[in-house]
Amino acid sequence: MSLKTCLIVDDSRIIRKVARRIVEGLGFEVDEAADGSEALAFCNSIMPDVVLLDWSMPVMDGLTFLRRLRAMSGGTVPKVLFCTIETRAARIAEALSAGADDYVMKPFDGEILQSKFAEVGAV
């Protein structure tokens, strides 16, 4: 049985490193992208099972990436967790209506990520 895959999309190398350690601990094979454009290119070649997605990034932000992902062939398959410091209810609703499966507030820890992954059926 092959491992489930998770694409971590965040412009912060430190956040990607912390998230990678946690997500690998959940049994996922992890890839990383520093912005939405890089992530979209990745998804064009390999569609991950889960995307852990930052909102504010240079080049292409998380919301633009999410809308483009969901429009791609197979783009409705990945579970997408927005992972951001954005706390306004209207912005959270915007992310969910654009196709996000759930929302994770930064800072997060292993327990929070594991419970969010479980909530969306990824683990």
Is the Cβ–Cβ distance between 8 and 26 less than 8 Å? no
pLDDT of residue 87: 82
Rounded to a whole number, what is the largest CA-CA distance in the chain?
A: 40
The residue assigned the tokens 């454009």 is 37
The pTM of the full predicted model, rounded to 2 decimals, is 0.96
Give the pLDDT band (50/70/90) at residue 2.
confident
Is the Cβ–Cβ distance between 53 and 83 less than 8 Å? yes
Is the Cβ–Cβ distance between 32 and 16 less than 8 Å? yes
